[in-house]
């Protein structure tokens, strides 16, 4: 295996470097398409090995990465046989911690799909493994590369709304029953809860826009719709969401069939947060809305901004800076650029490109393992509060020396 201290010479031929990065993939489910963004043999990086506990997935690997890709039933077999520069971990959430620790301790750079782990303590163990193992850790928070998020952050940084005092996010999870209640996501043993699993993206964005992490939370919610569906027949082994997703017929939500045998996560949740520096925030998530998008509102001392749409050419960010009654017209409207190729409006390719650059050369990244940990910590605390009838919960802080090590570029 190649340690990350030596991979700086492995890069694209066009840039004058010596060879392709040799990449592995663990998990060939829905989000494994991320690894396709990194598979460019002869141009800087190539997927040469994959591991999945389901042999039925190996044909998918060969169709994606070529007949020469090496396939393994487990990550340990792959590590023992391959000389890898980096590995994509794209597996169910409850497996992230153990897999990441094994890889980091073996000196292999890791792309870890969000969330970092499903407990705060698990996140801290992964961060510590990166420090002690000396391998680079990158967490797949692709929303930091979404144009609508970056535009909002740029507007805030240039002072368009003054000092941020409040951030609100409403997450309308259309198709939530198909996406999260027909497979492993519906079982809290695999996720802690959807307030963490699905909310990790939004909590990270809230922190990024506010420039502060959550200190204390209170939350309420419940399993308000999907708990009433009796059909818990589940899906065939090896099936992934596109295999059963039917946007035309699975409506209204109570008409769904084939839910996971275990459904014990909340389909509606609402949390309020106090962040560092006196910023306040709220987050609402519903898994049975007819529409699917996120709406952020950020209020500062000199105005407020809000996004309308979060993908595609029709999305825009509006800024209000003058006092008035209701008016749909804003003082500043920033349209989004045409969406790029690749998933999530072109953010997935940018995410993968940043990871590959980080493996080769290190340096600063827009994503942050510590920020990923803080999003999980807020989600875990909120889930504890929700299941404790709204009892306020304090979010534990990461060890300062560990945070500093990551702030210094994982040196």
- In 10 A of CB 227, how many CB atoms? 14
User: Which letter does DSSP use for residue 87 in this model?
Assistant: E
User: Which distant-in-sequence residues (6+ apart) come within 8 Å of 231 by Cβ?
Assistant: 256, 257, 258, 259
- Is-contact 169 299, C-beta < 8 A? no
Q: How confident is the prediction along the chain (411 residues), in pLDDT tens digits per residue?
A: 444 443 544 444 444 557 899 999 999 988 899 999 999 999 999 999 999 999 989 999 999 999 999 999 999 999 999 999 999 999 999 999 999 999 999 999 999 999 999 999 999 999 999 999 999 999 999 999 999 999 999 999 999 999 999 999 999 999 999 999 999 999 999 999 999 999 999 999 999 999 999 999 999 999 999 999 999 999 987 788 888 998 888 899 999 999 999 999 999 999 999 999 999 999 999 999 999 999 999 999 999 999 999 987 789 999 999 999 999 999 999 998 876 676 666 789 999 999 999 999 999 999 999 999 999 999 999 999 999 999 999 999 999 999 999 999 998
- Is-contact 120 376, C-beta < 8 A? yes
d(CA 326, CA 259): 43
d(CA 176, CA 260): 13
d(CA 165, CA 173): 26
CA terminus-to-terminus distance, the chain? 20
């Amino acid at each position: 295996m190649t340690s990350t201290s030596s991979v700086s010479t492995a890069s694209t031929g066009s840039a004058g470097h010596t060879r392709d990065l040799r990449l592995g993939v663990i998990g060939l489910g829905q989000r494994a398409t991320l690894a396709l963004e990194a598979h460019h043999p002869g141009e800087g990086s190539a997927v040469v090995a994959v591991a999945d506990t389901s042999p039925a997935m190996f044909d998918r690997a060969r169709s994606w990465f070529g007949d020469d890709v090496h396939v393994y039933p487990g990550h340990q077999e792959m590590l023992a046989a391959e000389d890898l520069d980096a590995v994509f971990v794209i597996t169910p959430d409850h497996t992230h911690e153990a897999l990441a620790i094994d890889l980091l301790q073996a000196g292999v750079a890791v792309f870890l799909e969000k969330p970092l782990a499903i407990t705060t303590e698990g996140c801290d163990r992964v961060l510590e493994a990166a420090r002690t193992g000396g391998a680079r850790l990158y967490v797949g928070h692709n929303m930091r590369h979404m144009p609508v998020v970056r535009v909002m952050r740029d507007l805030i940084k240039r002072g368009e709304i003054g000092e941020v005092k409040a951030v609100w996010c409403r997450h309308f999870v259309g198709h939530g029953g198909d996406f999260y209640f027909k497979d492993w996501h519906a079982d809290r043993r695999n996720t802690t809860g959807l307030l963490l699993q699905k909310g990790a993206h939004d909590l990270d964005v809230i922190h990024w826009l506010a420039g502060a992490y959550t200190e204390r939370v209170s939350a309420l919610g419940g399993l308000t719709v999907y708990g009433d569906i009796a059909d818990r027949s589940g899906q065939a082994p090896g099936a992934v969401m596109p295999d059963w997703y039917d946007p035309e017929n699975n409506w209204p939500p109570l008409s769904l069939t084939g839910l996971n045998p275990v459904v014990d996560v909340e389909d509606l949740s609402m949390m309020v947060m106090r962040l560092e520096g006196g910023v306040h925030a709220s987050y609402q998530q519903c898994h049975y809305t007819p529409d699917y998008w996120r709406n952020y509102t950020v209020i500062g001392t000199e105005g407020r901004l809000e996004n309308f749409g979060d993908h595609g050419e029709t999305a825009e960010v509006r800024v209000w800076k003058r006092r008035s009654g209701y008016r749909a017209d804003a003082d500043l409207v920033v349209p989004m650029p045409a969406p790029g190729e690749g998933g999530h409006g072109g953010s997935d390719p940018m995410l993968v490109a940043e990871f590959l650059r980080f493996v080769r050369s290190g340096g600063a990244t827009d994503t942050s393992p510590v920020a990923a940990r803080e999003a999980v910590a807020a989600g875990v605390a909120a889930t504890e509060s929700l299941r404790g009838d709204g009892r306020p919960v304090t979010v534990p802080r990461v060890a300062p020396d560990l945070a500093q090590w990551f702030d210094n570029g994982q040196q």
